[in-house]
Amino acid sequence: MRIEKRWASCLAMGLFLLCAAGLAWLLWVETVPRQEPVRLTPAAVSGAPGLEGLYLHAGPLSLEYALPEQAGEPRPVLEIRGLHAAAELRLDGVSLQRFPAGSGNLYATLPADWGGSVLTLTLDKGAEDPEPSLYLTSGILIKEQTRADTSLRAFPAAVFGVVFLLTLGLFLFGWLEGTPPWPVLLLCAAALGQSAYFYLQNLSLSTLPPALYGLALSQSRALLFAAPPLYLLLGMKKRQKAFAPFAVLPALIYFVVAGFQTVVPSFSDAAYIGSVFFFTIAALLVCAVLEYRDGNPVFRFILPWLGVCAGTAAAVCIVSVVRTGALPPFLRMLLAAPIAWADTELFYWSSLLLALCFLESSAALIRRVARRETEIQMLSARENLTREQLAVVQESAAALGELRHDVKNHFLVLQNLSRAGEQERLDSYLCSLLSGVDAIPVLTCAPHPAINAVLTTMLARAQKQGVEVDCQSSVPKTLPFPDAELCTILMNLLQNALDANAQAPEGARKWLRVDLHIRGLHLYMGVENARFAPVDYDEKSGLCRTTKADKTAHGYGLKAVQAIARKYQSELLLDFSDGFFSAATALQAPDEPTALL
C-alpha cells in the first residue's frame, strides 16, 4: 500500500510538471515570433549633420538606404515606423509611394526586383518627430507578429482571468461556510482588472472613446498596484497602524492622478507618479520581517517565497554575468532609468505579490479546513468518550445497586457463620464478596477530569479484556495543557496497549501499566504493556508503523502523540524489548515556570 501511494504521488507530480512544461512551451511559441524583420540603416543622410544628431534635427531630410542583394526567400514588404510628417519613398530615383502627414506605422510593397536597389525616403521632419525606422519584412512575418502581439496580451488576460475565478471561488467557499474572507475580494478585483487591461488592448481603438479607454486601462493598473498591499495590511496583527499610511495614501494618489490622467488633462503632466509605491514596498518589507518574527502565519508564508524569488533573480543575474559579462538587457534597462520604468517594475512586483497572496489565501483555506476536520474528529472522539464514560457510570451504579440490595442478606450470612464458628466458610464467603466489589468499574483514577475520563473508560475496556492493570496517577486537578492534547496522548497510547494485548495467545498473561506524575517542570506520561507480535520500527521517523490491514485508516496515533510532544519541547520515546512495549514522554509546562507546582 505504501509503495502504491508513493508511485501515485510521483505520477501526480510528474503529470503536474509535464503540464507546467507544456504550458510554458505554448506560451513561448505563441508569444515570441520565430523571425525578426531586418532593420535598414541609412547609408547616406542629406539635410542633417549626421546620424548622431538625426533625432534633434528639424527641417527637410533625405535618407538613403542600400538594399541588400536578393537572396533566398524574397521580402517584398517594407515596414516604416514612426512616420509623422508627409513623406515620399523612391526606389533608384523613381517615386514609389507618397505618405500623408500623421501616417505613423505603415507598409509599402516593393517590386520584385528590389535587390541591390537604392531606397530614398524624403520628408520634412519636425523637431519633436522621432526618426523613421525602416524594416524589410514579408506578409507571412507580418501575420506571425500580429498573432504574437495578440497572444502576448491574450495569454496574460487568460492567466489573470483564471486567478480571478480561483480567488472568487475561495471567497464563495468561505461565504458558504459562514466565514467569508473579505480581503480576498481585493485580489479578485486586481485579477479582474488586469484581465480587462490586457483584453482591452486587443480591441480596436474605435471600440471605446479614447478618454474612457485610457480611464479603464489606468484604473485597472491602479487596482493591481494597490490591492496586494491592502490585502497584506488586513493580514497584519501588530503593524497595521504603522503600515496603513504607506498602503492607503499611495493607492489614493495613484487612483486619482494616474487613474484619471486621460480624463483630466492637467493630470497627464504628473510623470512617474507610480514611484510613490516604492515607499509602500519599502515599508511592506520592513513590516513583513517584523510580522514574520512575531509568528504571523500570513508572512510566515509570504516572506520565504519572496526570498526564493529574490534568490532566483540573483542567480539569473549571476549566470548572465558569467556567460555574457553583463546583466540581462531588460534588467540593465530598468537599472539605467528606474523612475522612468516605474510602472513596468511595479507591474512585475505587484503581479508576483498578487500570486503569493493568492497562494497564501489558498493555504489559509486548507489550514482552516484541516483545523475544522480536526475539531470534528476531536468532537466525535469526545462524544464517544462521553458515551463510554456514561456507560461505565451506569454499569457502576447498577453494580452498586445490586450490592446494596443484597448487603442485608450478606450481613446476616456473615453473622450466622461467625456465631457458628465456621471460620473457613466465613473466609470463603468474604473472598467472594471482595471479588464482586473488584468487578465494579472504578469511577476515579485521577483528580484531573479529562485524564480521569480517559483512564476510567480505557481501563474499563482493559478489565473486560482480562488485562491486568496497574495505574499510578499523581497529577493535580488542573494542568497547563489543553485537555484535547492530553486526551489524544492517553487515548492513543492506551488503545495501542489494548490492541497489543488483544494479540495474546491462549493462556498468556496480559498486563498494562500506566504512570502519570509531575517531574520538575514536566508532566510524565508513560504506558507499558505486554507484546506478542513483532514491531515494524521506522528509524527515520522514530515511530512504529501500523501492522493493521487498513493502513489508510490507521497509523496516525503515534504521529499525533509525537507532534504534541515536540510542541512542548519533548520527544516520544519508544522501547520494545522482548515481551513488552513502552511509550513515554514528558511535556514541559508552557509559559509559566510554576505552572506545575
pLDDT, one tens digit per residue, over 257-311 is: 877 777 777 676 666 777 888 899 999 999 999 999 988 989 999 999 999 988 9
Cα separation, 199 vs 207, in Å, equals: 12
What is the four-CA torsion angle of 300, 305, 307, 311, rounded to 10 degrees? 160
Q: Is 169 helix (H, G, I), strand (E, B) or coil?
A: helix
All residue ranges of the chain with pLDDT < 50 are: 1-3, 549, 551-554
Domain 38-137 sits in CATH at 2.60.120.260
pLDDT at 453: 79
pLDDT at 440: 52
pLDDT at 385: 56
Domain boundaries, the chain: 1-31, 38-137, 155-376, 442-597
pLDDT at 317: 84
Q: Is 334 helix (H, G, I), strand (E, B) or coil?
A: helix
pLDDT at 365: 85
DSSP state of 183: T
CATH 3.90.76.10 fits 442-597, yes or no: no
pLDDT, one tens digit per residue, over 439-451 is: 555 556 788 888 8
Domains 38-137 and 442-597 share a fold: no
Q: Is 587 helix (H, G, I), strand (E, B) or coil?
A: strand
pLDDT at 1: 43
pLDDT at 552: 42
pLDDT at 539: 73
Q: Is the pTM of this model over 0.75?
A: no
Q: Name 133's bridge partners.
A: 81
Task: For helices 342-420 and 483-501, give the axis angle rounded to 10 degrees.
Answer: 60
Q: 278 to each of 16, 358, 426, 476, how far by Cα in Å?
A: 36, 22, 96, 57
